[in-house]
Structure 1
Amino acid sequence: MTSRHAARTLTLALCGALLATGAAAPARAVAAGKPKGHDVSSHQGGVDWAKARADGAAFVYVKATESTDYRSPTFKKQYDGARAAGILRGAYHFAVPDRSSGATQAAYFVRNGGAWRADGRTLPPALDMEYNPYGSHKCYGLGKAAMVRWIRAFSDEVLRLTGRRPVLYTTANWWRLCTGDSTAFAADHALWIARHGTSGTGALPGGWNTWTFWQYATAGTLPGDQNRFNGSLAGLKRFARG
């Protein structure tokens, strides 16, 4: 995942404390057999969606917005292009919790691409929660309880506007540091866990006992970051329909 101004390499450097190191091959081996996908932002620019599908992409998450003043200039082309190629697609929002409330950012996100409909082709909206790329306060200057309230406000507004809870993208380390490993979301939010270069996801954060998406690598055949869905292709389609 990337913020609007950070190159992917910088984002990974900022998140380095989150991601375990090691060979990427075992991760791909463990994930083998599960539908594969990726996530993209403006850093990927134009994507050859027909090739991505031929290379095995079943789904993609496309960055739509950040805070309340940025909409990815490539969002519509990427989002529509994925659908035209027969790839399930969803939108994600890069959270900047010290800029405005969770509800305010959720409303901006939904207005600018983060909506959902039960058409079987649209994945539920996703919220990207990771280290602050804009300053020294890794948790955006929010205490743990305040961060939990921010995420809940975002989720409640997305639910009100779309009928779906957002998927939560994070890492175990960020979740522990910035929410105190809150268990407040495990019962009703799908987890998108990021852990690169390992043979598995490791211990899951916040009371989750399973993951829905796993971002396990950055480089691969597909553009952007590499992901797997924890289930079958039929299960992925059911998840999209809600």
Structure 2
Amino acid sequence: MARDREPLRRARMLAASAAVLALGGTALAEIPVSAASKPKGHDVSSHQKNVDWRKAKNKGARFVYVKATESHTYRNPYYSQQHNGSREVGIVRGAYHFAVPHTSSGKAQAAHFVRNGGGWRSDGWTLPPAVDLEHNPYGGNKCYGLSKSTMVAWIHSFSDEVKRRTGRRPVIYTTTLWWNECTGKSRAFGSNHPLWLARYNSTPGPLPAGWSYWTIWQFDNGSGSLPGDQNLFNGSTDRLKRFARG
């Protein structure tokens, strides 16, 4: 098992939030007024440790994504408590993988992910698997040293293996800036991969190339009422359940 990298990622996320503020943006702790009617959710990792799920639900959590894996070796040691505990109190939940594309192939990381929590079943309570694609948090090139075409090929490889093993294409978590820069504004994924957009502001803003619609919006990076990062689902609670069922 690889060492726990979450404190490093958390520091990077906080730095990113500070950068947003410096550029005139807004790091939000509360739901934007324009999206207040949408189901509220969050995402957690080992940084949150053992989560009080009953409290989270009482504060409005309707869905959650739990970090399962990173690269091809790391597993979240709190995954079972987080993934199973959220389901036990009636929260729709799913698993995500933090991609580190320069360490191993997309196929290898997808296989590691699915074997360690990234599966899916059509029960109405399990969100489709998700892959986190963002700036390299460990120094060096933000695109992990990969060319645009190689990055696109890596994502295809990851997606194809997840689809082969689970029957669902993964949700893609990213920022517009990272996607457009590191994939060369690829439009190859928007038609069949739900978008989980990260943008800490009062509106989602411009979407990455290829998408015309966001499915999940991460609008705050840890200062809200729910454990971890704050998210919204772009639809009703019934639609959230249908999205989980596939």
Q: Map residues 185-196 of structure 1 onto 2, 5 A cutoff.
A: 185-196=189-200
Contact 1:26/1:199 (CA < 8 Å) preserved in 2? Answer: no
Deviation at 1:4? 3.6
Distance 1:176 1:17, change over 3 A: farther
Give 1:60's aligned residue.
64
Match of 1:81 among 78, 81, 85: 85
* Structure 2 residue identity aligned to 1:126: A
**Aligned position for 2:137:** 133
Counterparts in 2 of 1:17 and 1:145: CA distance versus 1, 3 Å:
farther
Moved over 4 A (4+): 14-20
How far apart, CA to CA, are the structure 1 residues paired with 2:118 and 2:192? 19
* Deviation at residue 134 of structure 1 after TM alignment: 1.4
Partner of 2:205: 202
SS at match of 2:8: coil
1:172 and 1:239, CA in 2 relative to 1: closer, same or farther beyond 3 A?
same
The whole-number CA distance in structure 2 between the counterparts of 1:215 and 1:160 is 28
What secondary structure, in the 3-state scheme, does the structure 1 residue paired with 2:77 have?
coil
How far did 1:135 drift? 2.1
Root-mean-square deviation (CA), in Å?
A: 1.8
CA distance in 2, matches of 1:178, 1:15: 21
Which runs of no fewer than 5 residues in structure 1 stay unpaired? none
Calculate the TM-score normalised by the size of structure 2: 0.93
Which sections of structure 2, spanning at least 5 residues, go unmatched? Answer: none
Q: Aligned residue for 1:169?
A: 173
Query: How far apart are the structure 1 equivalents of 2:173 and 2:13?
Result: 15
Whether the 8 Å CA contact 1:193–1:201 is kept in 2: the answer is: yes
**C-alpha separation in 2, matches of 1:106 and 1:18:** 31
Displacement of 1:13 in angstroms is 1.9
**1:216 & 1:12 partners in 2: Cα distance?**
13
Figure out how many residues of one structure are paired with residues of the other and give that number: 240
Correspondent of 1:42 among 42, 46, 61: 46
Match of 2:13? 11
Q: The residue matched to 2:110 in structure 1 has which SS? A: helix
* Cα distance change on mapping 1:116 and 1:26 into 2, 3 Å: closer
C-alpha separation in 2, matches of 1:159 and 1:98: 22
